[in-house]
Structure 1
Amino acid sequence: MQTFEYSVGGASLKIPTGCFFTHVIRGQGRKISYQNAGVDCGFVAALGSGFCNWRIDFTYKDTNNRTYRASRGRTHPECKKDPMRSNAPQRLAHFGKACTHLLVSGVRRASQCHHITK
């Protein structure tokens, strides 16, 4: 994740290099038994104020890269150093990709995808 700045209530917050957006997915074929996404920060980055006005979304795309399902997370107004979200187990309609996205103050800051194949 690259360093970025954003404003909350007139205060400028900076997210330093050293934070990683992770996406864990378990299952077989089109069946997802576990899915989780979150931010891990190390070293100096762990000392910051965290992420404010954040949300984590999950999206699912077919092999033609068309989104056919989305699970929008709720926006969290509080600041958190390690935002995280899990999604319910499910069976996908198509092979393709399962992606997750971190949004901070409505701006997509990081994404990660896993290819779902036979």
Structure 2
Amino acid sequence: MALAAATALGTAGTASASAVGTATIGSFSYELHGVGVQVPVGCFLTHRIEGSGRRITDQFAGVDCVGIAATFSRFCNWRIDFTYTDTDNRTYRTSRGATHNSCSGDPLRHAAPQVLPKYGKACARFYVNGRQRASQCHSVVK
């Protein structure tokens, strides 16, 4: 996934065949059971979607870290949501992921195949301790 993150950094695509996009997760800190946790620069949210038009045959999102961040980054109380918006940017569906109370260095979520009722965007949103830390979207077009 690191290679996909490096080659697709900051890109967005359509769901006409397949698309991979990556968003940078900036450095941040949060508190866990009274202890401060620092996440350094070097982590990315990668979102892959496959399908045609409104039919999504495969979709996943995950976090990958490189360099020093790969050694020291652990995400606790994390979740990944998938949201879908129409062409007027109105969210009509949210698939909320489970909150993982355990700590992980490589959060990952896979979504079941589906047919969207509208064209617009499909987004992956990464949350840590209830705060959104990154999002990455793809256009869903004919």
Q: What is the TM-score normalised by the length of structure 2?
A: 0.82
Find the counterpart in structure 2 of residue 48 from structure 1: 72
**Structure 2 residue 117 is the aligned partner of structure 1 residue 104:** no
Any idea what SS the aligned residue of 2:104 has?
Answer: coil
Q: Distance in 1 between matches of 2:56 and 2:73?
A: 33
From 29, 38, 55, the equivalent of 1:31 is 55
Q: Distance in 2 between matches of 1:12 and 1:76?
A: 18
Q: Distance in 1 between matches of 2:48 and 2:41?
A: 21
Q: Distance in 2 between matches of 1:24 and 1:11?
A: 34
Counterpart AA for 1:41: C
Assess if the C-alpha contact under 8 Å between 1:30 and 1:95 holds in 2. yes
Unpaired stretches in structure 1, ≥5 consecutive residues: none
Counterpart AA for 1:61: T
From 53, 74, 79, the equivalent of 2:98 is 74
From 72, 82, 87, the equivalent of 1:63 is 87
Tell me the number of residue pairs that the alignment of Structure 1 and Structure 2 aligns: 118
1:55 CA displacement: 0.4
Q: Distance in 2 between matches of 1:80 and 1:26?
A: 26
**Structure 2 residue 141 is the aligned partner of structure 1 residue 117:** yes
Q: Distance in 1 between matches of 2:58 and 2:38?
A: 32
Assess if the C-alpha contact under 8 Å between 2:40 and 2:73 holds in 1. no
Q: Distance in 1 between matches of 2:67 and 2:105?
A: 13
1:49 CA displacement: 4.5
1:48 CA displacement: 1.2
Off by >4 Å, runs of 4+ in structure 1: none
Q: Distance in 1 between matches of 2:138 and 2:38?
A: 29
Counterpart AA for 1:85: R
Deviations 1:38-60 (A, max 9, x none): 10001100111410000000000
From 4, 20, 43, the equivalent of 1:19 is 43
Root-mean-square deviation (CA, aligned residues, Å) is 0.6
Any idea what SS the aligned residue of 2:75 has?
Answer: coil
Assess if the C-alpha contact under 8 Å between 2:49 and 2:58 holds in 1. yes
